[in-house]
Amino acid sequence: LPCTVRDLSEAAGVPARDIQRILMEEGVMATINTPMDPELTEFVAAELGMDVDFLQPETLEDKVLRRLDEIEDDEKDLQDRPPVITFLGHVDHGKTSLLDKLIGIDVASGESGGITQHIRAYQIEKGDKKISFVDTPGHEAFTAMRARGANVTDIAVIVVAADDGVMPQTEEAISHARAADVPIVVALNKMDLPGADPMKAMTGLSQNGLQPSEWGGDVEVVKTSAATGEGLDELLDTILTVAELHEYKANPNRSAIGVCLEATQDADQGVQAKMIVETGTLRIGDIVVCGDAYGRVRSMSNTLDKHQKMDEAGPTATVNLTGFDVAPPAGERFYVLDDVAQAREIAEARAHQTRSEFLGQTGYQHVTLETLFDRLDGVEEVQTLNLIIRADVRGSIEAIQKELAKLEHPEVRLRVLQASVGGVTAADIHLADASDAIIIAFNVVPEESARSLAEQSGVQVRRYDIIYKITDELRAAMEGMLRPEK
């Protein structure tokens, strides 16, 4: 909302005519209701010897939902919870088949074109332990969810076909998993095939920074076959060991928060939403709000078997739920509230915002080289500047990385999330958006879709054709010497 002369007068405790006089001197004829843009407001305030801070009015959503987000659980209320696993990897390396085999169904063979279109979510039992799987169609979707704050994944399983080895999308998957800061387990799949070459695949992995534990590194590589079932038990055991190490916990005795993974609406079935609970316990009759949808939980069923009804769903349980008035957006978090009127009001307020407004409203500004220094200001700990590099040829990437390694700064650590050959893609922008990264495009241009996405999300894509210019500008940015281009 623009600030009017009256607003400033009231906020500053200064008569409106004093403000009008300052404006007059600047050649602006203002009435008490004249709106001023932020620049002008700041100017006037400075003339009055004051500083201004622009605060967003607190919405009901902020008041209710953000507060629920901020509740800190008491250590004593926390209990172990099942880990949430996501499979990532190159297309056709066996993500879908592995998950099918683990849960005992067959989706892979029925999928059109072999590409899984849906977000799948299941919870299985291994002995007395549970494991939840959330499978996104590709790492782009994984990262797009993360960008919206839906960080449900605890452990990424990178699936690599042993006959094919590490492929470009495997490298991307590794970058995405790394950017999400989750532990990585590798399933070296298709071991039944005569062409399986685990040595070559593991060499590819270590070239990408994943050192197999059998070579003395810290990444567990499990040899599997979705065809024969080989290694699947071991894969689950490995996942459980990694999970134990990280001690994932949640408080089951609070109102539930989770994520809508997918939702459909049709005349027969009404609204069906596939959800995963992150914390708390969801029960029949609970009042839920999720994006612009709200309602009372009418029924819940197991995602593996819709005939198996559930009365409650605790941390990391996956459920199919009915009761929403409209289909909630995928990737949106849901909350349980006490007051149905409040839930309706929040949902309606959200329904009025278009998606782009909604994203813009978060008010989050991505880092740019021009704003990097301001971010460092006053911050004690070392800051990480995430970079994604796209270049024309492999040799350029190596040369750029060599130059970057020489850059040292006491307050900034450079971290290259991904470096690959080719133009900047929409997937790069999603990754940068989710990880607050800057994209360096060397002798390449962004694809059209990437360009508009970058504009929408505020991700900075910097184009270069001389390597030392990259490091010069980075150095200048770290020192606060880089001025915005006019």
Query: 63 among the known binding-site residues?
Result: no
Q: C-beta of 306: minimal distance to ligand GDP in Å? A: 23
> Nearer to ligand GDP by C-beta: 189 or 320?
189
Distances (CA, A) of 198 to 36, 166, 191: 66, 11, 8
C-alpha 354/C-alpha 286 separation (Å) is 27
> Nearer to ligand GDP by C-beta: 116 or 153?
116
Burial class from Cβ neighbours inside 10 Å (0-12, 13-18, 19+) for residue 179 reads: buried
For residue 262, give the amino acid letter.
E
Query: 139 among the known binding-site residues?
Result: yes
Distances (CA, A) of 105 to 102, 160, 229: 8, 21, 13
Q: C-beta of 96: minimal distance to ligand GDP in Å? A: 3
Query: 136 among the known binding-site residues?
Result: yes
Distances (CA, A) of 445 to 73, 391, 392: 47, 9, 9
Query: 90 among the known binding-site residues?
Result: yes
> Nearer to ligand GDP by C-beta: 94 or 204?
94
Distances (CA, A) of 17 to 25, 40, 53, 418: 12, 16, 22, 57
Q: C-beta of 219: minimal distance to ligand GDP in Å? A: 19
Query: 138 among the known binding-site residues?
Result: yes
Which residue in 186, 156, 182 sits closest to 93, CA to CA?
A: 186
Which residue in 150, 154, 145 sits closest to 82, CA to CA?
A: 154
Burial class from Cβ neighbours inside 10 Å (0-12, 13-18, 19+) for residue 353 reads: middle
Q: C-beta of 199: minimal distance to ligand GDP in Å? A: 18
Contact 152, 239 (CB under 8 A): no
Q: C-beta of 163: minimal distance to ligand GDP in Å? A: 8
CA 338 to chain centre: 28
Q: C-beta of 227: minimal distance to ligand GDP in Å? A: 4
> Nearer to ligand GDP by C-beta: 336 or 427?
427
Q: C-beta of 432: minimal distance to ligand GDP in Å? A: 25
Which residue in 270, 257, 239, 262 sits closest to 317, CA to CA?
A: 257
> Nearer to ligand GDP by C-beta: 161 or 243?
161
> Nearer to ligand GDP by C-beta: 100 or 292?
100
Query: 38 among the known binding-site residues?
Result: no
Query: 360 among the known binding-site residues?
Result: no
In 48-182, alpha helices (H) = 60-61, 67-70, 95-103, 138-147, 168-179
C-alpha 233/C-alpha 131 separation (Å) is 13
Q: C-beta of 458: minimal distance to ligand GDP in Å? A: 32
> Nearer to ligand GDP by C-beta: 108 or 407?
108
3-state SS assignment for residue 409? coil
C-alpha 282/C-alpha 315 separation (Å) is 9
Tokens of residue 354, six digits: 């278009």
Query: 443 among the known binding-site residues?
Result: no
Using CB under 6 A, list all residues that contact ligand GDP: 89, 91-97, 108, 114, 116, 159, 189-190, 192-193, 225-227
C-alpha 159/C-alpha 108 separation (Å) is 15
Which residue in 69, 81, 4 sits closest to 36, CA to CA?
A: 4
Contact 470, 414 (CB under 8 A): no
For residue 270, give the amino acid letter.
G
> Nearer to ligand GDP by C-beta: 87 or 464?
87
Q: C-beta of 61: minimal distance to ligand GDP in Å? A: 37
> Nearer to ligand GDP by C-beta: 188 or 300?
188
3-state SS assignment for residue 283? strand
Q: Which DSSP letter does residue 395 get?
A: H
Contact 157, 187 (CB under 8 A): yes
Q: C-beta of 142: minimal distance to ligand GDP in Å? A: 13
Query: 89 among the known binding-site residues?
Result: yes
C-alpha 5/C-alpha 31 separation (Å) is 7
> Nearer to ligand GDP by C-beta: 102 or 439?
102
Query: 135 among the known binding-site residues?
Result: yes
> Nearer to ligand GDP by C-beta: 93 or 430?
93
Query: 137 among the known binding-site residues?
Result: yes
Query: 95 among the known binding-site residues?
Result: yes
Query: 409 among the known binding-site residues?
Result: no
Q: C-beta of 93: minimal distance to ligand GDP in Å? A: 5
For residue 220, give the amino acid letter.
E
Query: 362 among the known binding-site residues?
Result: no
Give the residue numbers of the binding site.
89-96, 135-139, 189-192
Give the residue numbers of the binding site for GTP.
89-96, 135-139, 189-192
